[in-house]
Amino acid sequence: MLKLGVNIDHIATLREARYRGKMTGEPDPVALARVCEKAGAHGITAHLREDRRHIIDRDIFQLRAHITTRFNLEMGNTPEIIEIALKAKPDIVCLVPEHRQEITTEGGLDAVGAEASLRTTTRRLQDAGIEVSLFVDPDLQQLDAAKRIGAEFIELHTGAYAELFRSKRERNGELERLIGAAKHAHGIGLLVNAGHGLTLENLPLIHLVPHLVELNIGHSLVSRAIEVGLATSVKEFLQRLENYPG
């Protein structure tokens, strides 16, 4: 079964647009994470950024206390956020690149260039009972570095595939990269997740990528929820994941 992880960052973005700096506000990402779970989501993802532009510290600890599925904390490899992760103890941490100027994560982590630092962080998290994933482009050198670092998972960055989806030749080239990367990662013993820019429209072709465990989807799912409701949106995305051949 291909699993769905729902990224709730954009729910928190809406709250922060009105209630930034307040102790309460709506919509409540924790309550809506529970709606996602009840609709069948297999996990909840939240990205705690250094600038706290959407998810804030309080959300992380409340998510840990209240959700009953798998909690995936996306985060940069920075001392302050690492300490929060060690206190909150999510089920898994996905280490991602982070730049303050970007609107959303724009590319994969440079696991090759930051191998020593990432290895230290990975060991600290694993010693606390937290699994580790690295968000990387479908590049074999990055996958080999992830293996050396000791991560259990990689999350393949599907952004280029999503951006080029309407150009058949370029899209198919990116799809081949994802297929090759998934095969290589599986062959060296890494578990494979994927995410970024995935929509109801471009999800069916992702079924061609083998060995996937989970897809993490946020913006498109939350956007669709404005039209049909959050529970219905989750169910629509789950339907797109059915019959994945693995």
Q: What is the pLDDT of residues 111-165, one digit of tens each?
A: 999 999 999 999 999 999 999 999 999 999 999 999 999 999 999 999 999 999 9
Q: What is the CATH number of domain 3-241?
A: 3.20.20.70
Contact 224, 200 (CB under 8 A): yes
The predicted model scores a pTM of 0.94
Nearest to 92 by CA among 53, 50, 44: 44
User: Could you tell me the residue ranges of all domains in the chain?
Assistant: 3-241
Give the model confidence (pLDDT) of 58-94 as tens digits: 999 999 999 999 999 999 999 999 999 999 999 999 9
* Residues identified as active-site: 47, 74, 196
Q: From residue 145, how far is each of 32, 79, 137, 157, 245 by CA, in Å?
A: 36, 21, 12, 16, 28
| Amino acid 23: pLDDT | 83
| Amino acid 38: pLDDT | 98
Beta bridge partners of 94: 74, 133
Give the model confidence (pLDDT) of 154-213 as tens digits: 999 999 999 999 999 999 999 999 999 999 999 999 999 999 999 999 999 999 999 999
Q: From residue 229, how far is each of 36, 45, 66, 115, 224 by CA, in Å?
A: 11, 19, 21, 42, 8
* Single-letter residue type at 191: L
Contact 234, 40 (CB under 8 A): yes
Nearest to 139 by CA among 94, 172, 109, 106: 109
In this prediction, residue 99 has a pLDDT band, given cuts at 50, 70 and 90, of low
| Amino acid 21: pLDDT | 86
Q: From residue 42, how far is each of 58, 104, 130, 157, 219 by CA, in Å?
A: 22, 23, 18, 20, 17
